[in-house]
Chains A and B, each alone.
Chain A
Amino acid sequence: MTCKLQGLFPTVLACLIAFNTSSLSGQTPGPSGVVQQQRGNSSYKNVSGRVVDEEGQPLPGVSVLLGGSSNTGTITDAEGRFSLRVPDDTKQRLRLSYLGFKTLEAAVSNFMDLRLQKTDGQLREVVVEGGYGLAQKRSDMVGSAFQVEAKQLEKLPPARIDNMLEGLVPGMTVSPNSDSEATVHSRYKTRVRGEGSLTAALEPLWIVDGVRIYTGDRTNQVPGANATISPLSYLNPEDIESITVLKDAASVSIYGADGSNGVILVTTKRGRSIRPSFTASLTMGITQINGSLAFRTLDASEYLTLARESYRNRFATTDPTMRFFPFQDNAGNTYTTTQTDWYEHFFQTGFQTQAALSYSGGNEAQRNYISFAYFDKDNSLRGNRQQRASLRINSDMRLHKRVRLSLRIASSLNRNNIFSPGQDYLSYLPIVSLYDAEGNLRLYNHIYIQDSEGKPALKREKFLNSIARREENEHYQRGFANNSNIGLQIELWQGMTFNSELGVDYQSIYESEYRAMSNWSGRNGEELLGYAYRNSPVFFSWNSVQRLNFNRNWGQHNVSALAGFEAQSRETTSTLAQGNTFANDHIREVSQAVNRWSSSSFNLTRKASFFGQASYNYNKRYYIAASTRRDGSSDFGEHVHWAQFWSLGASWNIHNEAFFRSESVKLLKLKASYGNAGNSRVGRLHARGLYAYGKTYDGRPASTMESISNKELSWESSYIANLGISLRLLDRIDIEFEAYDKVTKDLINKTGVSLATGNTSVDSNIGSLSNRGLELNIESQNIKTKSLLWTSSLNLSHTNNIILKLNAPRLGSTNIVWREGHDKNTLNVVRWAGVNPRNGEALWYDARGNITNTYDINNAVPYRSTAPLLTGGFNNRLSYRNLNLSVFMTFVIGGYSFSSFSSRYSSDGYSIMNSNQSVNQLDRWQQPGDLALSPRPYWGISTKSGMHSTRYLFSSTHLKIKNIALSYDLPKEIVKHIGLRQAQASLIVDNIAVFTPYDRAGRNSYRQSISGFPLETGYSLSLNLSF
């Protein structure tokens, strides 16, 4: 099956090349791009040219008109190029206009190199990337896409690019995958317009310069490694020119089976102009755990007070003198005098540096962008460090008048030192010291117990000291990533180009871990072994796109079209070796271990697709666009190998209408689109029924049935309707408002089958759900004077999720229930009714709403939803002379969040002997009449008060000040004087503060459990020079 592929590509390529040459010979261009033609009595000539901005950046979408007439005109393409047929003897001049730029008039000549000047301080019209060569001006768009520019990213923490987008894009959220306090290297989930599936991936598709990059599996986990380091951390954010988030059907249908969760296009910088320019930047900073956001646990004296009280509450009659209380001072442990702040042992002031150097320049035939960057972050959690060295070479060459070659080569070498303390930084008791009496890292605690004769006795207990693990073990991951693309563009004839692209994404990871026998992680019981693990997952994917783009204007009629073929392949291999039992801790390689295991795996997925797009606009007033894609995937069963996706869209630029005359409204646009996209990332579907190998019987290989077939299974498909309005007021305020309805049909989930089939469940299509939402984005210039400029941008999004159809209610992830007519994030929990003031018992409501003192999971009721009412971001920039200040905030309004982790530290005495507790436990019931928040604590007795209930439900409303940056541009005269073009110094603070409405001084609330693992605050100084 694999061999067929090798035949396919050359064939297709050969055919396409044959196609090109034949079409090239069809029309021989005249010298210097001018074709003389005779038609009727008058003669025409073709003029062509290129339009750039002041910095030499090409300007696509510039309107080029001959004189005042509106019959002869065109717009520039993605490269800023245009060509126009004009009467040979024309006296008229070309009029170039572009929103945000001064209109330029130029005399007609054969080849024109034109430069437009920005109008001062006005909102610039953005060119939005669309993939497959479909870049458009925002005012020409039919679909919904939001673009984040390099400028918005430059002051954000450069560790990973998905995190940088938090709060910047309407309709998109970025948040940690888990609220667990034990997750140091949290995977992040990115959601575009809600969650459109129950079990399939909800992550958008990431594409860097046309190459799909592997960002982990369904839940962003990297298979084959013990610790997941996100491949999105392998990219150097300084190389990014723009990030475009495609959201509606008109934009994502062309990505077919991978489009339903949105598509994120990352476009990297290109060589701007011939003039060589260099940029050097250095950012250095420190990071610290944000004290106000860190979960608060008991200090030593609070802990002992509560522990003793819990003990007394339980053993008041059997051990009134507390003879068997475990934490009594002895030679090994002095509990009463020890005061350990474990945060201090686990955390430090982290240090981070990013140094980058980039070059841009070239000549007429070639433009280059070369950058090198080094990023080093020593985390505030000790034992964790991220290092990244990245190199990028982007080159655009003009091989021939009609042939262009583009190269994108990016590599990065990453090293991550990993140490995960789990929850130890919270759970370790403050009455235990890090070192034992001999001054070694503690491996034992000594506690009192009741011996078999009923007398107090001292017992030595293991202390699983994770700091010893950090100091003595070794765990790192090295990742090499290469993301490259080579593209050939041939202009076949006027307006028609052929593009052939081959992109490669290669990620090779090597993970090494050694667990030393000097601490418990390297022991089996008391046996000293030492464990070594070596994992090496490798991901190799390529995609090849052959496409024809067409772009042409006939008078007022502007037509563009695209047709293409794409093939993709992704190969995942992993090898794993592990061993244990070493002679000592110095020999750490598996080959030296007494016991050794190894394994390997291989996985191949392939996709093939055809796609097309066509759009037409009349006089920049009426736009229609249609797109389609046919996708085939090897993951699906025979019956559904192929799936068809399509979209239709239209927009109306009212401001270009003759009847529309308004001084205040400069732009008014309505748009609508409808279509579908799919979700192929559901994990392997065994539509055909599978047999598995690997067992033996009587020494012979055996195969057994793994799954039965479900021939009716089909792909999940989302139907997205989108309505939008864009408005520009007074050239000062840009408003974009969109509403969408995204219905996902044929949701796939495991469905139980009769056990008589031999299976428990099969993947089936079980229902449908919808995400409806509103998005608002406002960008404004609030104050604009000669020396002062204040701009702000605000985005707000609201999503309403409803399960439309479900074959039967079912439980989703923890505490979540899926029911028809309800949000898929509806919580299903027992309602907490507080503490009985008479006896300190925990109380709940039963399913019918009566108060009960017994916890029963069957009393769980569908309660509230974790989905917020509104999420958004608010960014303000203030420039005064050479000073710039930007303040970036994100916020969430409404919604509830269940803190799995608060419940663990509010055990009401149940696990107080093993784990430190939340400071909230101090508000416990002590005597009748107490209106306490926590029940009466009992040592080691579970009253089930710590079980999941609404006791741990918090409103997720909060405001986060994510980033403040203050920068100073050195005055131009001084800069020039020292031979520079620009010099800027900045002070940047990240994750400054979080505000929640229900805080209590000195206690934990949502603020302290918002992200599980405490948030880091960073302070950095940055210096940018360009010359």
Chain B
Amino acid sequence: MRKPFIATLISLLCLTACDNFLNVVPVGKTYTSLAFSTIEGMRTARSGMYYKMYELYSSECYVFADLAANTIILNHNSAISDRTKQIYDYEPVLNQNGYWGFLYEIIANINQVIAHQPALIQKYPERQSELEGIKGEALFLRAFCHFALCNFYAQAYNYSPDASHPGVIIVTRNLGPSDKLPRNSVKEVYEQIVADLHEADKLLEGRSSTSKYYAGQQAVQALLCRVYLYMEDWEKAAAYATRALQNTKLAYGEDYLRMFTHLNNKETEVIFRLNGLKNENNLLIRLFSMREDQQGKALPPPALVDKTLSDLLSEHPGDIRITGLMRLEVNTDGNTYFSTEKFNIKDNQDPQDEHINPILLRLSELYLNRAEAYLNMKQESQAAADLIQILARGLQQDPAGFRLSYGSSDELRNILRKERTKELCFEGHLLFDLKRWKQDMRRSPQTTSPVHYLPYPNNRFLLPIPEREIQINPNISPNPDVNN
């Protein structure tokens, strides 16, 4: 009888053919394994990591450390994000995922790239060099994100003698739904950051970074310098500053201003910045630019410069950082304030594509880092020499002839801290610096925030761990005071 045979054949045919019949991939998306099956897929995932970074750092997150410190007067009535106001007013909102969620999302993207890289090297041996470079960049970005998480959610490295106080969760692999990890200590997180950066340093060795929009070896070393500075490992901080500063030159005068105000500039000073081309996030631009009311009358920007900072900048007349990067505004309350030009892009050609390219690492910071390291290594003259580079550039003088007088190392430390505040304002450093300098946060009486003064040490310097994480993850410990 042929019938059973044919019947069996039919069912076999159906069974084998059906699995192919059922393999349908949704359009515009692919399964993760498929996304990393080709070198092109890896390249778009690489762009994806940077894109996520841009998405976060083109928001108020970029100036978090300024909003939470004493450089900004915020107009609460203007159309700005609630989160901006909450940071400024120290009213943490628990029911959002926060930077915590965002940074771990970036880390998950990065870990996908790192996890799929070895298989691609096997598949495309001729692409090994490119793929190793991508892994180096991924490790750099992972270190950057863990470092940022510590800054937002943990006390500074020097808060406890052995840095054993709670840090954040170290995530170096792809987690599943049932993974509920506890927080690591700050020490452990920094060890991971340093390890990632050292591996990145090796992988990116000898590669000339063609664009400031991607991390190269210089960016890795610059970040290592900042990390060691936070760890108070002064020798290494100074050493990595020196390595990263090799064959570089600060930007002066018009070039210095254009670095902030023009998309098209020489980029001599920038080590690493993010690219906002064809992306929509204008939160930073809106926060710092002029507005119009319904009648078309000009209104000052939502965020103005606190008197504490503008007084500091007016200390030496003719400082380019006030003449070139500050603008005088009349606020709605009738008082005059400065506003910053650091986000006022003047060569935005296409209004549909208005964007900024946020700077994450630049040379001036390295000089200031090294000056601080030298000072703590009791090498005051070398510290002063680095400080002069920044001071003289600000006053548009030749550093060779610039004289810096200071009576004691404490006075030099004071000058250095002021200079760091002036140079790196609105670039997301101040609150983190106050934390590691063990300083109080004090705002001018004009502040529109209910919070005028927070003494060190303070639990309110930390953001709360998102409520969602605490509810879902039983192993996570909340941040005291802010997490109630």
Contacts and interface: CB of A to CB of B under 8 A. Distances in A.
A706 interface: yes
A760 B21 contact: no
Contacts of A700: 43-44, 47
Given A4-B20, A634-B23, A752 B471 contact: yes
Contacts of B374: none
Contacts of A754: 169, 175, 179-181, 469, 472-473, 476
A695 B48 contact: yes
B176 to A, nearest CB: 7
Contacts of B31: 688-691
Interface string B1-31: 0110011011101100111111111111111
Q: Which applies to chain B's interface (DSSP): helix, strand, loop or mixed? A: helix
A756 B26 CA distance: 26
Interface string A653-669: 00000000000000000
Nearest to B43: A700
Contacts of B111: 758
Contacts of B32: 688-691, 705, 709
Interface string B94-110: 00010011001111110
Contacts of B51: 695-697, 702, 704
Interface stretch (B187-195, B273-281, B332-340, B448-456): B273-281
Interface residues of B, number: 72
Given A18-B6, A606-B21, A703-B47, A758 B27 contact: no
Contacts of B469: 754-756
Given A565-B14, A608-B18, A693-B29, A703 B41 contact: yes
Contacts of B35: 691, 703
Nearest to B106: A758
A608 B11 CA distance: 12
B296 to A, nearest CB: 11
A877 B284 CA distance: 73
A5 B6 contact: no
B213 interface: yes
Contact of A1 (B24, B44, B52): B24
A708 B175 contact: yes
A605 B22 CA distance: 8
A351 to B, nearest CB: 44
Contacts of B108: 705, 708, 757-759
Contacts of B88: none
Interface in B36-74: 41, 43-45, 47-48, 50-52, 54
A7 B16 CA distance: 12
A19 B476 CA distance: 64
Interface stretch (A8-16, A739-747, A996-1004): A8-16
Contacts of A691: 29-32, 34-35, 45, 48, 112
A756 B110 CA distance: 13
B14 A610 contact: yes
A694 B30 CA distance: 12
B81 to A, nearest CB: 19
Nearest to A693: B28
Nearest to A754: B473
A632 B47 contact: no
Interface residues of A, number: 66
B171 interface: yes
Contact of B13 (A15, A18, A22, A567): A15
Given A8-B17, A608-B22, A756 B47 contact: no
Contact of B22 (A16, A19, A641, A702): A641
A927 interface: no
B5 to A, nearest CB: 10
Contact of B112 (A8, A15, A705): A705
B470 to A, nearest CB: 10
Nearest to B23: A1
A605 B180 CA distance: 34
B246 interface: no
Contact of B44 (A603, A608, A690, A701): A701
By CB atoms of chain B within 10 A, which of A8, A696, A758 has the most? A758
B26 A603 contact: yes
A986 B473 CA distance: 67
B466 interface: yes
Contact of B25 (A1, A18, A607): A1
Interface in A664-698: 684, 688-698
B129 interface: no
A67 to B, nearest CB: 36
Given A1-B24, A698-B213, A758 B29 contact: no
Nearest to A689: B32
B160 interface: no
Contacts of B47: 695-698, 700-703
Given A696-B47, A703-B35, A12 B14 contact: yes
B17 A11 contact: yes
A404 to B, nearest CB: 22
B177 interface: yes
Contacts of B176: 708-711, 757
Given A691-B30, A702-B47, A706-B29, A756 B24 contact: no
A605 B175 contact: no
Interface string B434-468: 00000000000000000000000000000000101
Contact of A756 (B14, B44, B175): B175
A753 interface: yes
Contacts of B30: 690-691, 693
A764 B176 CA distance: 12
A914 interface: no
B6 A22 contact: yes
A38 B169 CA distance: 86
Given A688-B33, A706-B29, A756-B175, A696 B10 contact: no
Interface of B: 2-3, 6-7, 9-11, 13-14, 17-35, 41, 43-45, 47-48, 50-52, 54, 97, 100-101, 104-109, 111-112, 169, 171, 174-177, 179-181, 211, 213-214, 275, 277-279, 466, 468-469, 471-473, 476
Leading 3 A-B pairs by shortest Cβ distance: A758-B108, A702-B47, A691-B35
19 contacts: A8-B14, A8-B18, A18-B6, A19-B10, A689-B33, A690-B31, A693-B28, A699-B277, A699-B278, A700-B44, A700-B47, A710-B176, A752-B468, A754-B473, A755-B469, A756-B181, A758-B107, A759-B108, A762-B177
Given A704-B45, A757-B176, 18 more contacts: A1-B21, A1-B25, A15-B13, A22-B6, A607-B22, A608-B14, A608-B21, A632-B22, A634-B21, A689-B32, A694-B28, A708-B176, A710-B177, A754-B473, A754-B476, A755-B104, A756-B169, A758-B108
